[in-house]
Structure 1
Amino acid sequence: MDTQTGQPAPLEPMPTDWTRALAVVAHPDDLEYGGAAAVADWTDGGREVAYLLASRGEAGIDTLAPEECAPLREAEQRASAAVVGVSTVEFLDYRDGVIEYGLDLRRDIAAAIRRHRPELLITLNHRDTWGGQGGGGFWNTPDHKAVGRATLDAAADAGNRWIFPELIEQGLEPWNGVRWIAVAGSPLATHAADATAGMERSIASLMEHKAYIEALTDQDPEEYCRGFLTGFAEQAAARFGGRPAVTFELFSR
């Protein structure tokens, strides 16, 4: 908050001096609800981005049993990632809807960090609510909170050889090269990435989640995706020099 104007402070540009990123989220579609426009721009610029999903989203469609839903949502996520230039999509197979913060989750994310060696980690809102800085809004889900918090902690775990020493036995040497963790969708956003160049691919990426969107809304899929993504990007523009943007809460290490 700007103490002089009483308005939210301007958003700073996201760092650009990095080459590898790893995005860690709970479910298929988490990255597409806002983050994909930034990912498209980053991969266009020659940066590598990999996706790690804690679950396959099998509890996300009421009309589909989990054993039917999981492979469908996995396929939709892989297609969605390809639209924005991401070819590496991995799944940890935690149960959708009941992911718990704990040592197993921290270890599995730390292992992925050691494999991919990112400078930038990306995750989704780990805070209790979605909403403005003044509070309110909507209550966040346990899965998002658990995975987001575990990702923040795993950045340090990945660099410490004495935490999860079994990873070294598996050939995964410590990686202490994570420089930032960027939290998409945070109500306490500090930074932003310009969404102009990547917006159309972001919309197309979200539309790849066909089964999920059809179950979610009766609205025309393109109209729904375009309205949702451009609405949030334009809202962020007020704090980013008038440019549509994807917002992040950025933690430095």
Structure 2
Amino acid sequence: MTEPTTPQLTPMPEDWRRALAVVAHPDDLEYGCSAAIAAWTDAGREVAYVLATRGEAGIDTLAPAECAPLREREQRASAAVVGVSTVEFLDHRDGVIEYGPALRRDIAAAIRRHRPELVITLNHRDTWGGVAWNTPDHVAVGRAVLDAAGDAGNRWIFPELTERGLQPWDGVRWVAVAGSATPTHAADASAGLERAVASLLEHRAYIEALTDEEPETYVRGFLTEVARSVGERFGGTPAVAFELFAR
């Protein structure tokens, strides 16, 4: 009896120039896919970040008014490490983001502003696979991103955006979901892994509140193990996995 084979992941598309990453919180991209983003910006591609919140509810020992500007600074520094200079915040409330037209409209507006071919988000499903429960914010934003990719191209959905000068953009070709339990594609993380480590380390205040482990040991161990695990389905090359939805 032959052993079942693990399906290999397909390389991510390369024929694009602009990407927009839309997630709920500071650090979501750094835990998910910044090694791929570093490689893409190295290749001359444009990547911008949009965050639904400023992560103000993320550190138990800091009140939201103090936490929000700290986490914004950490996110901007983190993005710069992987070649991203545009970081925007939508100012939805951390922890209680509501899926619905308001969130879809804000994300559709961002897509119209940046006009990406590739949109990136984080796992939108109830779990990370098995019984590891996802957060409501991730679910709401991920679902809204998938919907807003279509909303952005329809002038009759959110017509107020056109009135504000944001013309429809129907050029999104893919939505790539990082952190999915059912990935279909992967991007080589070899060249970007060290910068991914440095990028996540910029979230030092958050990490120090999250774990008693030494920050670099924690970050390097986590990202290296994830990249190695994905690489088992990508020819042995350390990689970042995505579930890719074509449009």
Give the match for residue 251 of structure 1. Answer: 245
- Checking the alignment, whether the CA contact within 8 Å between 2:32 and 2:122 is kept in structure 1 is no
The alpha carbon displacement at 1:5 in A equals 5.5
Aligned equivalent of 2:187 = 193
- Structure 2 residue aligned with 1:48: 46
Cross-structure match for 1:14: 12
One-letter amino acid of the counterpart of residue 128, structure 1: D
Q: CA deviation at 1:7?
A: 3.8
The amino acid across from 1:112 in the alignment is A
Give, in whole Å, the separation in 2 of the partners of 1:58 and 1:8: 40
Give the aligned partner of residue 177 of structure 1: 171
2:99 pairs with 1:105:
no
> Per the alignment, do residues 5 and 191 of structure 1 end up closer, same or farther by CA in structure 2, a change over 3 Å counting?
farther
Total equivalences in the alignment: 246
User: Which secondary structure state, in structure 2, belongs to the residue aligned with residue 240 of structure 1?
Assistant: coil
Large movers: runs of 4+ above 6 Å: none
What TM-score comes out, normalization by structure 2 length?
0.98
For residues 8 and 241 of structure 1, the distance between their equivalents in structure 2, rounded to whole angstroms, comes to 11
Pair 1:140–1:190, CA change in 2 (3 A)? same
1:45 Cα deviation from its structure 2 partner: 0.1
TM-score, normalised relative to structure 1: 0.96
**1:117 equivalent in alignment to 2:115:** yes
Cα distance in 1 for residues equivalent to 2:6 and 2:131: 17
SS at match of 1:39: helix
1:30 aligns with 2:24: no
Q: Give 5+ residue unaligned stretches, structure 2.
A: none
Q: Tell me the residue number matched to 1:166.
A: 160
Task: Give the structure 1 partner of residue 69 of structure 2.
Answer: 71
Q: Which runs of 5+ in 1 are unaligned?
A: none
**Cα distance in 2 for residues equivalent to 1:167 and 1:238:** 44
1:57 correspondence with 2:51 = no
2:83 pairs with 67, 75, 85, which one? 85
1:78 Cα deviation from its structure 2 partner: 0.1
